[in-house]
Structure 1
Amino acid sequence: MLRAVRGRRAGPQDGATGAWQGRFVGPLLAATVLIVGLTATLLTARQLRSDQRESADRVMDQRTSVARAAVAGEAGRYRNLLQAVAAGLGTNPGLTAADFAAATGPLADAGLLGATSVAFVVPARTGDVPRVEAFWRGRGAAGLRLTPSGSHPEHYFAIFQRALNGNGVAATGLDVAPSSEGSAALVESRRTGRPTVSDTYVLLRDRGIPPDRQQLSFVFAAPVYSSVTPRGQVPEFRGWVALGLRGQDFLGGVLSTASQGTLDGELYAVNGDSRRVLVAGYDAPGGRDLTRQATFPVADRHWTLVTAADSRNLPGAYSSMPAIVLAGGLSITLMLACLVCVLATGRSRARAQVLVATAELRTAEAESRRQAGLLGAIMSSLGDGVGVVDESGAFLLHNPAAKALLGVPDDIDGPQGWQEHYGLYRPDGHTPFPVEEMPLVRALRGEKSDGVEMIIRNDRRPDGILVSVDGRPLDANAAGRHGAVAVFHDITELRRYETDLAVFAGVVAHDLKAPLAVIRGHCETASEDLADAPDSAEVAGARAALGRIAGNADRMAALIDTLLAYTTSRDAPLKLGTVPLDPLVAEVIEQRIEPARPGGAPPPDCYVGPLPEVRADPAMLRHVVDNLIGNALKYVPAGRNARIDVTAQPGPPGWTRIEIADRGIGIPDEDKPNIFESFHRARTAAGYAGTGLGLAICRRIVERHGGTIGVADNPGGGTRFHFTLPLATAGEQPAPADRTALERALAERAAAEESTPPSLAADQAGRGGISSATHASN
């Protein structure tokens, strides 16, 4: 009876429990899903926002780095151009207004942002002003009037000037001494012998314009030393080349191009009294929530560039993804919560929600198909070839342009067969392109590559085409797999155009040298006519003038040859062949030794070790060897005998390392990183003739052969240049027992000198020869 009563009482309680569960389980589950979803969404949005901020910081750092490099590079370019002009003026002992105009002519077309004018400035004490004025009037400064300003012990007058960037006619005769900033820069440049930059100030030429249009400016100054001086004498100081630079025009022009209107900029300079001065500013649209600062050297000063930007205006730094994720996450969370609630409360509602979700999935699938079709249309319309491979090297995609370039309709999986299947060769057209150096293979290893050139030649492209390939690795996909993508550009016509330009440069050089040869011939004829004339002041003056004309014609011809070699080393096609280095080096030394022995000086001390045969362009390789050996003979201190060591060392497999050491004046450590740049000359080379292009040409030629070139100090003094070249036969090494052509020449010359009477030997030494002494390369 008790059991029956208890059983009847349990029924209503169980029903109440079931009703409670049916009423609250669904909302509780929905609340749980809502809390978890909101937490995950907020954390994800926060992480995306943090990643976006980091991305904005990276983009800001990159933009600031580009802006700093642009400002520093442009200022460095001004300095280098000014130094080049100063070096060029120093080679002309009879500097005239026409010479200055010719030397500064390229500056007018160099696009020097903010530059006002370039001037040749000379110092003069108060008592020497009339003499200096008369002297430079005789050098072509017509109407020059030098008026000292103030009671300064020394004045600095602008003798020749050229206005830049449409700044009107530049006035000559201006005294820079009243400007303490400009005169301090000139004094410091003369003291150090290097280019300097002044403190910030308003240029004298700008002080007459309204104050609201005035700008803080700088003056770059480079000393001019005579490079034609007697042996053993210090080069003569002749003046300065000065360049005025308006800070606002300079900064605005550089930043507007470098930042593409996305960065604010402020340029600060530290003056000689350690004050930090705001020189100029540049404003870009938007606010400022990112700020960076970069300090860099300019001549003997330091400038600071402060950049600011609105992250929303930086490309790739701002997106609405966090807001989209937040909104999407909230929406999905609410949908899931409602779905759980519906599933927990009713089967019919669950079915209806499933139908809604199915419809959304179908819409998403249709959108995905549309996006895939759009991507396919874009790939088909691209003019450049695009190829995509998976992590194993199997091709996933070749757009029509890629197939047209390759000329092979079917693809082959696996990098090992690409070279033979598609016909891939190095730019020489004969050497098969190594598999490990192909851009797609390098990209599969995670390496980026740009502008890799190769020849594609196969049955469908018998003539072959030259392509430039860029390779990039692809990020891991959802399955954790990697791939790579390559973009092909057909540059055949571009290379043909460059070849035509090289031919045109040769024709122009020939046409330019023909008038110089005529001038040289007339000078020689006139000199012969004056040889029998009685000595007088007029005859001596005429002979000196003819000598200067002939010398300038020779320098002009040498400059044309150098510029032609500079162009040819970059654009001329390589004519590769087997080149024995022994006879090549011997011939170069033989031809270089005689001019290096003025006045019967002892012959240079030469040592040439066993040298291998290499695969190279004979003419270009000769230029490299001739330039390096010529420098070893030229840059020698007064009173010291030249010494040259030419040796070969084993390099990487299939390569050799050639070393040319000397005992010359050496290269300072601060100049070594830039010694192979165009028009760069070490400060120790002052007083030696040169254009600053020789080593740049050597680097171009060596790099076009696939090698590297470098420089280091030679133990015991001097310099040691080294460069690498491919061997003619892989694994070939120089035979130690073989006597090189130069050693045979040394032995023959030594035997001849031993058998020659003392008087005849002295006469031969006066005409030059090769020393038979050899020594170790150290």
Structure 2
Amino acid sequence: MEIRKVISRRGAALAGAVLALGLGTGATAATSLALAEQDASTAALALRTASVRGALDTTFQRYADTMHSLVAAAATEPAARLSPAVARLTGDTLPGAHQVVVVDANRTVLAQHTVDGSNPPPRTTLNPEPSLARGLDLARESGRLVASPAHVLPADLGLPPAHRQPAFELISPVHENGFRGWVVIGVRAPDLLRESLRAAGVTGVATVLTETSGDGVTHEVARWAEGGGPLGESRGTVDVALAGHTWQILVRPTTALVSAGRAAAAPLTLLGSALISVVAAGLLLVADRGRHRAEDHARQAAADSRAEIDRARAAEAVLHERTRTAEAQLREREAELTGFATAAADHLHAPLHTIAGFTELLLEDAGPLDEASRGFLDRIGRSTGRMLALVDDLLAYSSAADAALKLEPVDAGGLALGVVAGRLDHVTGERPSIDVGDLPAVTADAELLGEVLGQLVDNAVRFVRHGTAARVTIGAREHVPGWWRIEVADRGIGVPEEQRTRIFAPFHRAPAAEGFPGTGLGLAVCRRIVDLHGGELGVDPNPGGGSIFWFTVPTTGLTPARGADLFAADLA
């Protein structure tokens, strides 16, 4: 019997429609669940990557502070007291450190202290291998802290090849009425990576530390994993910089980023919808075939078909409800993360202000302090200031995501003049040159727009070459009909082409920004605010040097309320 005689066109069409409806609904629900699972995995990996970056940033800052103290001691301590001073300042708080050596301009060893507990033979003269020799010359010529490329320390050359660890030296020149010598610290990279992450309590990651040589070739320097081997293909990459040298860190999870139930939700949903759709379509076909045999059976088959359609719709409703539940859980998770960041920042504010206040009181009113004690208090104050800046930026970043916009006509020119005047009131030393051009009236939240302008002006004034005054120009031009493009141009250090999109990510700082204060969240806050306004944010090179940071904002046909008048004296 031909199949067309058993199954009517109407029955086939109805079965195909039910099958298509069920599969389409299931595919939509599975796609939504898969995207939610992917977003949750991305957020979890970002948190683990940030913890790795934070642990290494803390270690590198500790090395930089220790080198600063060692250089100060080498410049001021007499030869007889230099070795005890080096041992006291170094202690055992430098992860991966092997040995500290202080040499004079003729490379005669003035003091040496072994940090890792080994007992290498004492040296009277430093005979550097080629990479260390180049580092000594570069440190003397540049007058700043430098890092050598990765190589094997002389103390490890006698070990079997499998036990030799890649290492590097941190080299800082010593100046006191002229060049006097160097301070050199040998650091084993694998030990540094392992000890830094363990000390910070970083878990669930496998990390690989690499560096790129001058010829563009990337070399592995160290690797460490906790919790087993890498899982899946998820990975995050961050850059860390110290002493003019940049390392890259590849981070992969070793434990699941999301729960097994959430990972299986999408395929199970798709499978369930497919099974239900196939069963419903098959039953419709069986019912239609029975209708050809007998009228009574046809009526019953029709009733069965309606019942199956109802069940299919009920299954569709269940799938829809599951999708809504998954989306609600994702929004709840995002709210929890935002609440966590806000609560953590709120609880850190008071203790940090207390530490900063008592540190300032000790420096001002504690009577005479020796240089070492004053240096320790200065370092506490600087570290507390950096932490307070990070807490403030975290609060700004978390609150910018769901800020309630108060859109109104805003005089962008008057707002920019107020922002610039407020910044210049707190400038010490040489004042920057800031030129505010003719800016249009726009539709925006005045407070949030002022925060974007303030952040961009702060960056333009801050990121300039040492010894030069900042030159900043604020202007505007039409972007597309109905939108203005506001630009903040500077003559600063510039942004390399490969970094022009990455600098807007949270906690990312370009290698050229090393040595300048900042947390890596300011531009991310600007991006969130501009996104809330429906605009775009970007950076272009400034002809002749520097950068042009720009953002777009809609125009307005209304006249903004007049604000306080600012005269030229306000910007002088």
Pairing 1:87–2:57 present: yes
In the TM superposition, what is the alpha-carbon distance from 1:694 to its structure 2 partner? 0.8
Distance 2:393 2:26 in 1: 47
- RMSD of aligned residue pairs (Cα, Å): 6.3
> 2:474 touches 2:488 (CA, 8 Å); kept in 1?
yes
Choose the corresponding residue for 1:354, options 291, 295, 303. 295
Deviation (angstroms), 1:632: 0.8
Q: Aligned pair in 2 of structure 1 residues 627, 198: CA closer, same or farther (>3 Å)?
A: same
Q: Distance in 1 between matches of 2:265 and 2:472?
A: 55
Q: 1:731 aligns with which of 557, 561, 565?
A: 557
Q: Does 1:550 align with 2:362?
A: no
Return the alpha-carbon distance in structure 2 between the equivalents of residues 614 and 58 of structure 1.
Answer: 40
Higher relative contact order (CA 8 A, sep 6+): 2
1:663 aligns with 2:491: yes
Alignment partners' CA distance in 2, 1:320 and 1:621? 53
Match of residue 562 from structure 1:
393
Structure 1 equivalent of residue 360 of structure 2: 520
SS of 2:476's equivalent? strand
Task: Quote the Cα distance in structure 2 between the aligned partners of 1:620 and 1:525.
Answer: 40
Structure 2 distance, partners of 1:61, 1:192, is 45
Matched, 1:260 2:263: yes
> What code does the residue aligned with 2:356 have?
L
Identify the match of residue 121 of structure 1 among 83, 88, 96. Answer: 96
Query: In 2 relative to 1, CA 716–638 (structure 1 residues): closer, same or farther, beyond 3 Å?
Result: same
- Deviation of 1:556 after TM superposition, in Å, equals 3.5
1:684 and 1:126, CA in 2 relative to 1: closer, same or farther beyond 3 A?
closer
Partner in structure 1 of residue 419 of structure 2: 588
Residue 561 of structure 2 corresponds to residue 721 of structure 1: no
> Cα deviation per residue 1:464-489 (whole Å; 9 max; x = unaligned)?
xxxx9xxxxxxxxxxxxxxxxxxxx9
Quick one: structure 1 residues 625 and 56, their matched pair in 2 at CA, closer, same or farther if it must change by over 3 Å?
closer
Q: 1:611 to 1:135 in 2, by over 3 A?
A: farther
Aligned mates of 1:704, 1:355 — CA distance in 2: 63
- Report if the CA contact (8 A) 2:338-2:398 is conserved: no
Which has the larger Rg?
Answer: 1
Partner of 1:319: 275
Q: Secondary structure of the equivalent of 1:659?
A: strand
**1:163 aligned residue:** 198
C-alpha displacement at 1:254, in angstroms? 3.9
1:273-284 mapped onto 2 (5 Å cutoff): none
Deviation at 1:693, TM superposition (A): 1.0
Cα displacement (A) at 1:38 = 6.9
Q: CA deviation at 1:46?
A: 11
Does the CA contact (< 8 Å) of 2:244 and 2:514 recur in 1? no
**Distance in 1 of aligned mates of 2:102 and 2:300:** 99
- Cα distance 1:560–1:214, how it changes in 2: closer, same or farther (>3 A)? closer
Q: Which residue of 2 aligns with 1:392?
A: none
1:508-565 alpha-carbon deviations (Å, 9 max, x no partner): 6245414422321321234xx54xxxxxxx8444444443343334333333333333
Q: For the Cα contact (< 8 Å) 2:479–2:485, is it kept in 1?
A: yes
Q: How many angstroms apart in 2 are the aligned matches of 1:88 and 1:511?
A: 20
Task: Quote how far apart the aligned CAs of 1:628 are.
Answer: 0.3
SS of equivalent to 1:253: coil
Inter-CA distance 364–540: structure 2 relative to 1 (3 Å threshold): closer
Question: Does the aligned pair in 1 maintain the 2:211–2:248 contact within 8 Å?
Answer: no
Map 1:109-508 onto structure 2 (within 5 A).
Answer: 120-122=95-97, 134=113, 136=115, 151=158, 156-157=187-188, 158=191, 160-161=195-196, 163=198, 188-189=210-211, 191=213, 198=220, 225-226=241-242, 235=243, 250=253, 253-254=256-257, 257=260, 260-261=263-264, 315=271, 318-319=274-275, 321=277, 325=281, 329=285, 332-333=288-289, 336=292, 339=293, 353-361=294-302, 364=305
The alignment partner of 1:722 has SS state of strand
Post-superposition Cα deviations, 1:353-397, rounded to whole Å, max 9, x if no partner, equal: 33443454456557768988x799999xx9999xxxxxxxxxxxx
- The C-alpha deviation readout for 1:633-661, integer Å capped at 9, x for no partner, is 11123455422221233466765432212
SS in 1 for 2:434: strand
Distance 1:63 1:164 in 2: 37
Take 2:202 and 2:521, find their aligned partners in 1: how far apart are those partners?
Answer: 32
1:755-774 to structure 2, matched below 5 A, reads 770=572
Amino acid corresponding to residue 674 of structure 1 in structure 2: R
| Amino acid corresponding to residue 731 of structure 1 in structure 2 | G
Contact 1:86 1:241 in 2 (8 A): no
Give the Cα separation in 2 of the matches to 1:51 and 1:498. 38
Displacement of 1:626 after TM fit? Answer: 1.4
Q: Distance in 2 between matches of 1:684 and 1:242?
A: 17
Match of 2:527 in 1: 699
How far off is 1:57 after superposition?
11
User: Within 2, Cα distance between the matches of 1:619 and 1:95?
Assistant: 42
Distance 1:225 1:623, change over 3 A: same
Q: 2:471 maps to what in 1?
A: 643
Q: Report how far residue 691 of structure 1 moved.
A: 0.4
Give the alignment's TM-score, normalised by structure 2.
0.59
Cα distance in 2 for partners of 1:368, 1:79 equals: 49
Change in 2 beyond 3 A, CA 1:94/1:663 = closer
Q: Is the 8 A contact 1:612 1:733 kept in 2?
A: no
**Equivalent pair of 1:499/1:571 in contact (CA under 8 Å):** no
Contact 1:712-1:719 at 8 Å conserved across structures: yes
1:94 maps to amino acid = D
Structure-1 separation of matches of 2:57 and 2:386: 14
Change (3 A) 1:200 1:257: farther
Residues 628, 371 of structure 1: alpha-carbon distance in 2 compared, 3 angstrom cutoff = closer
Structure 1, residues 579-630: CA drift from partner, whole Å, max 9, x if none?
A: 43334322332343476674x5xx5443322223445444433322111001
Residue identity matched to 2:96: V
Structure 1 unaligned regions, length at least 5: 1-30, 97-118, 138-143, 169-180, 207-212, 227-234, 264-310, 340-352, 386-449, 452-467, 469-488, 531-537, 750-768, 771-778
Report the residue type matching 2:419 in the other structure: V
Paired with 1:355 and 1:710, the residues of 2 have a C-alpha distance of 72
Aligned residues: 469
| SS at 2:524 equivalent | helix
Is the CA contact 2:290–2:298 (under 8 Å) kept in the aligned structure 1?
no
Does the 8 Å CA contact 2:487/2:551 hold for their aligned counterparts?
A: yes
Paired letter, 1:163: R
Instruction: Give the direction of change, closer, same or farther, for the CA distance of 1:324–1:368 in structure 2 (3 Å limit).
Output: closer
Q: Distance in 2 between matches of 1:690 and 1:632?
A: 13
In structure 2, the CA distance between the partners of 1:731 and 1:42, relative to structure 1 (3 Å rule), is closer
In the aligned structure 1, how far is the partner of 2:230 from the partner of 2:311?
58
Contact 1:570–1:701 (8 Å) recurs in 2: yes
Residues 200, 216 of structure 1: 8 Å contact kept: no
